[in-house]
Amino acid sequence: MNNTRALWLIAAIVIIGCIATACDDVTSPGKCTKHNFGAYSTTTEPGCTTEGEETAVCKNKGCTGADKRIITALGHNWGDWETIKEPTAAEEGEMSRSCKRCGESETIPMLTADTPTPGLEFTLIDGGTAYSVSKGTATNAIVVIPATHNGLPVTEIGEAVYNYSTEMFEGGFAEYAAMTSVTIPDSVTSIGDNAFNGCSGLTSVTIPDSVTSIGDLAFRNCSGLTSVTIPDSVTSIGDLAFGNCSGLTSATIPDRVTNIDDGAFYDCSGLTSVTIPNSVTSIGYEAFAYSTGLTSVTILAETPPTLARNVFNDTSSTLRIEVPAVSVNVYKEAEGWSEYAGRIFAIE
Ligand SMILES: [Zn+2]
Ligand SMILES: [Zn+2]
């Protein structure tokens, strides 16, 4: 037997002997040469931002050896963002969310509506106590008008005036075709004549409930506008205010409006139904004329409003004019209304 073979033999005897005599049966710590760890169990729960720990102990008899592993921090389980303070055009808002697990919260500024569009032009009005705003050199698609400028309130959207020699509007936001949305702050009380005339890219406008008057032709030819909610504060809707707004499918007229002026919804071919509130006492010339899709007009006043000529000219051939049941005959016989007698029905 050579030396190598002898060594192999000794090794084999040791290994076999070990298995036979349970060499993992150690009676003092440190004697365990190969730990046999069992399952890990959590010994320190992880938190949102703190690591946890799990431990496995050696199953070999008499061994106190253990292995520890880090459990990574869980991260916060954030709830939804909630608005704490609405942003205004002049001041940042705040939004906050909190962790459903540990309750930690975080607050961030709400920037959406608080950055005025650069380039806007402000003109002092009312004896230097307020500002009127117009497009100026602004080019942004999303236009945000601030509620204040140089510490004074912005109360007016400036009017635009048509220049017959250049054949273009000057002032206001007229023909600002790049504009897709405009935020009007609730400091604004009036929207000037032609203010947004020809803003064909405008799809969304929110008129705040501080506005009391919408000027003549204010939104004329805003063909991209699909719906408009006129707030309760508005008492007058100017001539052709929404004239030729072909994309407009719905319009809500608030119940403080007394006069729907001439051509207010003229040639709104997408408009299918409109409700005229109880407060309206007069409807102007061609107010809904050429709104070819208009099939339903609901009038809430029991006393027929004064009706100018051609109000419903070239609306849908199936136009139904619904009025309070008690007033059906009154409408059918009223001046102006009588020419639509065959289309007048009781509100269902
Ligand atoms: Zn061990
Ligand atoms: Zn947390």
Domain ranges (residues) in the chain = 51-113, 121-346
CA neighbor of 22 nearest in space, from 30, 40, 34: 34
H or E segment to which residue 149 belongs: strand 148-149
Instruction: Please report which ligand is nearest the Cα atom of 26.
Output: 1
Ligand 1 centroid from CA 50, angstroms: 29
Which ligand does the CA of 74 lie closest to? Answer: 2
pLDDT beyond 80 at 21: no
Residue 34 has pLDDT above 90, yes or no: no
Burial 236-263 (b: 16+ CB within 10 A, else e): bbbbbbbbbbbbbbebebbebbebbbbb
Rounded to the nearest angstrom, the distance between the alpha carbon of 151 and the centre of ligand 1 is 77
pLDDT tens digits, 41-89: 999 999 999 999 999 999 988 888 899 999 999 989 988 878 787 766 5
Nearest to 132 by CA among 113, 115, 149, 114: 149
Under the banding of pLDDT at 50, 70 and 90, the label for residue 13 is very low
Neighbours of ion ligand 1 (CB under 5 A): 32, 35, 58, 60, 63, 65
Ligand nearest to the CA of 32: 1
- 101 CA distance to ligand 2 middle (Å): 5
CB within 8 Å of 70: residues ≥ 6 apart: 51, 52, 53
Distances (CA, A) of 335 to 274, 305, 306, 316, 326: 21, 10, 8, 21, 18
- pLDDT tens column, 300-319: 999 999 999 999 998 888 99
Output the pLDDT for position 81.
77
Task: Compute the average pLDDT of residues 228-257.
Answer: 88
CA distance 100 to 112: 26
- How far does the centroid of ligand 2 lie from the alpha carbon of residue 72, in Å? 14
Ligand 1 center to 59 CA (angstroms) = 7
Q: Separation of 45 CA from ligand 2 center, angstroms? A: 13
CA of 102 to the centre of ligand 2 (A): 4
Name which of 273, 342, 274, 334 is nearest 303 in CA terms: 334
Ligand 1 centre to CA of 28 (Å) is 10
Kindly give the pairing relationship between strand 105-110 and strand 93-98: antiparallel
Ligand of minimum distance to the alpha carbon of 23:
1
d(CA 302, CA 331): 9
- Average pLDDT score over residue span 98-113: 80
Gap from CA of 73 to ligand 1 centroid (Å): 29
Question: How high is the pLDDT of residue 191?
Answer: 96
* Choices 3.50.50.60, 3.40.50.10860, 3.80.10.10, 3.40.50.720: CATH for 121-346: 3.80.10.10
Average pLDDT of the residues in 94-116: 80
Closest-lying ligand to the alpha carbon of 104?
2
For residue 11, pLDDT over 80 is answered with no
Distance 21 CA to ligand 1 centre (A): 16
| Sequence-ordered list of residues with C-beta below 8 angstroms from that of 75, at least 6 positions apart, any chain | 48, 49
Distances (CA, A) of 65 to 22, 35, 52, 118: 18, 7, 20, 69
The alpha-carbon radius of gyration of the chain (Å, integer) is 38
Which residues does 46 contact at the CB level (< 8 Å), separation at least 6? 52, 71, 72, 73, 74
Question: Between residues 124 and 7, which one has the greater pLDDT?
Answer: 124
Task: With a cut of 70, say whether residue 140 has pLDDT above it.
Answer: yes
Taken as a whole, the chain contains a residue count of 348
